[in-house]
Structure 1
């Protein structure tokens, strides 16, 4: 009899504990999208900057990869035709390459017969133009790398100001009230920093590809000038 009463007491205790736990531990799960949207108004311009950043990265990466390719056979074919005096064929080969290096070599072929310094200068100007085309819109990434984190900080500061204004009006300084508002407002700071890091990294990586092309094209210009001098 005593065991039966003890068993019933244990059952009631367990049931009561479950009710209490259910009351004090509500479901606090939140979706990723819902969590992000708590960041406030400043997430809108940050999101726009993120999409524009990805657009610039993809567009510039494809363009730079396309025009910066240097065909190792191009200079050999051009050299063979220059040595044999076939300038038209050499120019046609350079044009068919459909690349920045081909355009630069073509500019050198067009002024063959003039002083070497003028040929080299003409090719350098052509190289500067090609590099300038590659660098289009890259400055936008550098700008976004500075603007996005700043927008995030402004969003956070704006939220903190609202929190303290609310406290001054309601005189409610509970930890829940303060921490809840802070974590929501700091979402904008985190988002801004993330966009800034993406833009900053892409800016330097793409510029690195352009610098690598500039070094290779200078070697080709030197090789082209040496061919002309020997011929």
Structure 2
């Protein structure tokens, strides 16, 4: 009330920012994005051939890492380049989902001080209009305009500073998750493309020894 009507958009931004922060804190939990032991378990499944469409669907819907690994397993019979391309395509979608609402949070961090400045300007204009109408004989009128201006400025900064810090924090967390997911996807890619030739080496060795034995 003391800050005037310019406080309304600042309050709306604060509520939106709070909702985004709570939602991202829940969605970007480590165990929800990178379930412990999932990469090793999936590589064991791939090595044992324990894969079916229902299994892959459950894996894809379980977590962002599971979605990335399931995309690689869906084309496991193809060349390494094709599997890698599928992983990269799916990775872009996964990262986009993890960064959902972060642009909005960054926008709030940007416009918070501007809204505070807007309220400051409105307060100063009101103060000068009152001075023009009644002169400077009533200090209470000037104090009211200055107080309104300062309240809007402080409120805008109070919303913008935490929003900016949390925006950077969530972006950093997503970047760290991307590195871990890339590591797990590369390990699975090696399992799918390099495991088969390794299994064939004993047969090539036996074929090479046979002529010498004769």
TM-score scaled by structure 1? 0.76
Aligned partner (choices 98, 107, 125) of residue 161 of structure 1 = 125
1:176 CA displacement: 5.1
- Per the alignment, residue 24 of structure 2 pairs with 60
SS in 2 for 1:87: coil
Aligned partner (choices 10, 34, 48) of residue 46 of structure 1 = 10
- Per the alignment, residue 114 of structure 1 pairs with 78
Aligned counterparts of 1:181 and 1:68: Cα–Cα separation in 2: 50
Deviates more, 1:141-150 or 1:79-88: 79-88
Query: Alpha carbons of 1:76 and 1:107: their partners in 2 closer, same or farther (altered >3 Å)?
Result: same
Task: List structure 1 segments (4+ residues) > 6 angstroms apart after TM superposition.
Answer: none
- Per the alignment, residue 155 of structure 2 pairs with 191
- Per the alignment, residue 224 of structure 1 pairs with 188
Q: Map 1:16-31 to 2 at 5 A.
A: none
1:94 CA displacement: 6.5
Are the aligned partners of 2:60 and 2:67 in contact in 1 as well (CA < 8 Å)? no
Aligned partner (choices 116, 120, 131) of residue 152 of structure 1 = 116
- Per the alignment, residue 104 of structure 1 pairs with 68
Count of residue correspondences: 195
In structure 1, runs of 5+ residues without a counterpart are 1-36
1:111 CA displacement: 0.3
1:82-107 per-residue CA deviation (whole Å, 9 max, x = no partner) reads 22333339945961871111111111
Q: Choose between structure 1 and 2 for higher RCO, CA contacts under 8 A separated by at least 6 residues.
A: 2
Structure with higher Rg: it is: 1
Are the aligned partners of 1:74 and 1:93 in contact in 2 as well (CA < 8 Å)? no
Report whether the alignment pairs 1:87 with 2:17: no
Query: Alpha carbons of 1:87 and 1:174: their partners in 2 closer, same or farther (altered >3 Å)?
Result: same
1:67 CA displacement: 7.3
1:73-131 per-residue CA deviation (whole Å, 9 max, x = no partner) reads 22222222322333339945961871111111111111011110110110121111111
Deviates more, 1:62-71 or 1:108-117: 62-71
1:211 CA displacement: 0.7
Query: Alpha carbons of 1:94 and 1:213: their partners in 2 closer, same or farther (altered >3 Å)?
Result: farther
TM-score scaled by structure 2? 0.81
Query: Alpha carbons of 1:84 and 1:90: their partners in 2 closer, same or farther (altered >3 Å)?
Result: farther
- Per the alignment, residue 205 of structure 1 pairs with 169
